[in-house]
């Protein structure tokens, strides 16, 4: 056999290529959800607390002190975070993390990983010029 020829046959080459692709795919799955990682690596802000919305209760119409805290931080140009939980129609839990950032932006991180009939992933939305503390999709 010539020095330049490979001793591997076509089936071995295909197997090695498939193994390499599987390894790359596995590594990307192990990294996790990029939005969840963004949440975990965020700069912490003062907490306005947390609560669970009752069935039929709307966050935008809530008169809770925690929502007022977030609105006050937004109006002052300060930063703050608020954790809100609620259940889907089927009863699956959703957690939303509202944030107003110093200087006026608003954002929300949504953990819908337990929503069997939803996206089953983390989601993110941001508004750089919100009209309220809860305006996260302008």
Confidence label for 126 from pLDDT (cuts 50, 70 and 90): very high
Q: How far apart are CA 80 and CA 111, in angstroms?
A: 18
pTM value is 0.75
What's the pLDDT at 14? 41
Asked if 131 and 138 count as a contact pair (C-beta separation under 8 A), the reply is yes
Sequence ranges of the domains in the chain: 34-127
Name the pairing type of β-strands 93-100 and 106-111.
antiparallel
Which residue matches tokens 């089936």? 11
Distance CA 80, CA 48 (A): 6
Q: What is the mean pLDDT of residues 81-94?
A: 95
Say how far apart CA 103 and CA 78 lie, in whole Å.
7
Kindly state the DSSP code that residue 60 receives in the 8-state scheme.
G
- Whole-number Å distance between alpha carbons of 102 and 77: 5
So what's the pLDDT on residue 16?
44
Which of these ranges, 29-33, 118-122, 133-137, has the smallest mean pLDDT?
29-33
86 touches 98 (CB < 8 A): no
Q: Is 14 helix (H, G, I), strand (E, B) or coil?
A: helix
Nearest to 100 by CA among 84, 80, 83, 82: 80
pLDDT tens digits, one per residue of 29-39: 456 899 999 99
């Amino acid at each position: 056999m010539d020095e330049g020829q490979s001793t591997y046959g076509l089936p071995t080459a295909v197997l090695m290529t498939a193994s390499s692709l599987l390894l790359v795919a596995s590594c990307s799955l192990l990294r996790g959800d990029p939005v969840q990682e963004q949440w975990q690596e965020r700069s912490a802000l003062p907490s306005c607390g947390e609560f669970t919305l009752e069935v039929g209760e709307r966050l935008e119409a809530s008169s809770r002190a925690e929502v007022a805290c977030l609105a006050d931080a937004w109006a002052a140009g300060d930063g703050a975070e608020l954790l809100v939980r609620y259940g889907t129609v089927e009863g699956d839990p959703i957690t939303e993390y509202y944030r107003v950032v110093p200087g006026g932006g608003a954002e929300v991180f949504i953990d819908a990983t337990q929503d069997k009939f939803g996206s089953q992933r983390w989601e993110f939305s941001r508004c750089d010029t919100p009209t309220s503390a809860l305006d996260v999709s302008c």
